[in-house]
Structure 1
Amino acid sequence: PPAPFETKYEKNLYDGEVAYVDFVLGKLFNYMKKNNIFDRTLTIFTGDHGESLGQHNEMTHGYFAYNTTLWIPLIISIPGVNKGQVKKIVGHIDIFPTVCDVLRIKKPSFLQGISLLPVIKGKKLPKRTFYFESLYPYYSRGWAPLRGFIYGMEKFIDSPIPELYNLDEDFDELKSLAEEKKLDGYRKRLARIINEQSNPENIKARQRIDRESLEKLRSLGYISSPQVSRKESFGPEDDVKVLLP
């Protein structure tokens, strides 16, 4: 974090980052209140991903698909709507449909998320399946990719060494249940999810990325180097859990 938070939180830089964001948001909200726009502004606070601070031997994000990096803050402040809390799982894909609903804009038919406005107002949230993936190990190092889904509070991670968790009882994902259950059904379900989301009929438009944007994404680590040799099949020796130092 920048000064003075770097010094104040030198023993816990993550808390320093949080304190800095809190400080900056405070300045923004004070400005909005002084200019009488705070009470008529839709405000959404979220993050693009979480961060591992040593959990599962990861000191970053991008390699694993554990809750430390999948779970993010999501706070939505809507003028005229009472405070509340949604306890079931929602995702980034729900933000745009929610904004459309709040602004009374017609939602495109191809959206995969749902509006959270009815839920915020007290309606029931439908039980849904959430797909996730971590492909950075594959594209950057040629290791096995990670793919999986969450349904209710059950989470399946498919890899050469698969994992299965009951998030109600084990949110920190310390004890995998993969050895206790047959995983064929989970793998078939995951294949269906990937097939549905990859169906060209569900993809309405593709955009070409210009060279400058491509280089910017590569410099940020979101696009891998093309020199890495990637395999088509993987064994336990290719699993991120085995290979990550």
Structure 2
Amino acid sequence: EQGWQTAAFVGSVVLKKQFGFGNGFGVYDDEMPRAGNRLQFREDPERKASIVVDHAIDWLNKTSADKPFFAWVHLYDPHLPYNPPPEFARKYKGRPYDGEIAYTDQQLGRLLAALHAKSPDRTIVAVLSDHGESLGEHGELTHGVFLYDATLRIAFLMAGPGIPAGVRVKQQARSIDFLPTLLELLGGQAPQYVQGLSLVPTFSGKSVPTDIGYEETLYPKMNMNWSELRAIRTNRWKYIRAPRPELYDLAADPRETNNVIRQHNNEADKFELHLKSLVAPGGTEQVKTQMVDERVMTQLQSLGYLSGGGGRSYELT
């Protein structure tokens, strides 16, 4: 509507356009590598960052200089299964996750170099992750099972016009705050239905009321027959609703090893009331689903998004 050139380049089948992620993009590049012949082939569930960045740079070099552009470049490599390229596997022997991070950093550097050559000092760059990774903390490997900061805290970096260099926002910032922040930097305003708040005031040392963060995971319930988990996080506290509720003083215990719910049950009660105001007693509202073919389900299972199940039918919302 505003004349922007838009494109997305994704590295995993979980973001294929068939799931609706391509809405609003002029270009949506989601083709995964294929193996086999024309009669029988398989599509890999992910593609390397180098391929994604190659496609993004090619598109970037073709964009018109007189029109603004927006690009979403999704790099999937720091994710199970950990399989860094040989050079990085050797350098980070025994630490494949670190190897994948280093490889992704290298490819991000390629993208930023191309971006700088195309439009130096005129582009806002944001680097975010959708989740962290637990490498044994609290007995969890990878992510999705628990709601501790090992998996909830993410990289959240921004640079460009209107963003002072070297500033670190000390208060809690949430993923939902990214869109309002970006829109304000571009001279716009977030629609009223957007839940997040702009972090632009924090760049100059001011504070904004992002004191409540909501987290949930349904994975334990859907895949392990455990309880679902929901949590409230503030600058100081983390309350986790579970069969055995947990409360952590993040200022004194950032690794969340000392459950202080007995000493601070009033705080826990307050957060439980807030959770009840956010989530209906019956759970989340029902939404329409669509059936997904078995091939896609196998790919999602290989990436850890679904558990296996003999004869089980699958639906995605």
Same fold (TM over 0.5): yes
Identity %: 35
Return the match for 2:124 from 42, 51, 63. Answer: 42
Which amino acid in 2 is paired with 1:77? A
Which of 202, 206, 209 is equivalent to 1:123? Answer: 206
Do the aligned residues in 1 keep the contact of 2:197 with 2:210 (CA within 8 Å)? no
1:43-64 deviations in Å (ceiling 9; x for gaps): 1101110101111111111101
Amino acid aligned to 1:48: D
Give distance in 2, aligned partners of 1:207 and 1:43: 34
1:188 counterpart residue number = 273
**Structure-1 residue corresponding to 2:257:** 174
Shift of 1:3: 2.5
Corresponding residue number in structure 1 for 2:142: 60
Give yes or no for the alignment of 1:81 onto 2:163.
Answer: yes
| Alpha-carbon distance between aligned partners in 2 of 1:214 and 1:152, rounded to the nearest angstrom | 43
Deviation digits for residues 175-202 of structure 1, max 9, x if unmatched? Answer: 110232324333222212325xx898xx
**Number of the residue aligned with 2:57:** none
Out of 104, 112, 120, the position equivalent to 1:29 is 112
- Counterparts of 1:23 and 1:213, CA distance in 2: 35
CA contact (8 A) 1:52 1:61 kept: yes
3-state SS in 1 of match to 2:230: strand
CA distance in 2 between partners of 1:98 and 1:217 (Å): 35
CA displacement, residues 138-176 of structure 1 (integer Å, 9 cap, x when unaligned): 011221111110123111011011110000000000111
How many pairs align? Answer: 221
C-alpha separation in 1, matches of 2:86 and 2:112:
21
The answer on whether the counterparts of 2:162 and 2:185 sit within 8 Å (CA) in structure 1 is: no
Aligned-pair RMSD on alpha carbons? 2.8
- Residue 230 of structure 2 is aligned to residue 147 of structure 1: yes
Structure 1 Cα separation of the partners of residues 157 and 171 of structure 2: 14
SS in 1 for 2:223: helix
Query: Higher helix fraction: Structure 1 or Structure 2?
Result: 1
- The verdict on how the C-alpha distance between 1:218 and 1:91 changes in structure 2, with shifts beyond 3 A counting, is farther
What's the CA shift string for 1:116-153, capped at 9, x where partnerless?
12222333222521111111000112211111101231
For 1:30 and 1:110, the matched residues in 2 are separated by: 36
> 240, 247, 258: which one pairs with 1:157?
240
1:81/1:121 contact within 8 Å kept: no
More deviation, 145-154/25-34: 25-34
Structure 1: give runs of 5+ residues left out of the alignment: 201-205, 229-245
CA contact (8 A) 1:63 1:134 kept: yes
In the alignment, which residue of structure 2 is the partner of 1:20? 103
Mapped pair 1:95 → 2:163:
no
CA distance in 1, matches of 2:210, 2:254: 18
Which letter does structure 2 place at the counterpart of 1:194?
Answer: V
Query: Which of the pair is proportionally richer in strand?
Result: 2
Q: Look up the SS of the partner of 1:38 in the other structure.
A: coil
SS in 1 for 2:90: helix
Q: Secondary structure at the match of 2:141?
A: coil
**Over residues 34-88 of structure 1, what are the superposed CA-to-partner deviations in whole Å (9 max), with x where a residue is unaligned?**
33x1311111101110101111111111101000000001001122431211011
Query: 1:51–1:199: structure 2 CA closer, same or farther, 3 Å change rule?
Result: closer
Q: Hey, what does 2:17 align to over in structure 1?
A: none
Residues 150 and 89 of structure 1: is their aligned pair in 2 closer, same or farther, counting only changes over 3 Å? same
Query: Kindly tell me: are residues 68 and 188 of structure 1, through their superposed partners in 2, closer, same or farther at Cα, counting changes over 3 Å?
Result: same
1:156–1:218: structure 2 CA closer, same or farther, 3 Å change rule? farther
- Return the alpha-carbon distance in structure 2 between the equivalents of residues 214 and 119 of structure 1: 47
CA contact (8 A) 1:29 1:38 kept: no
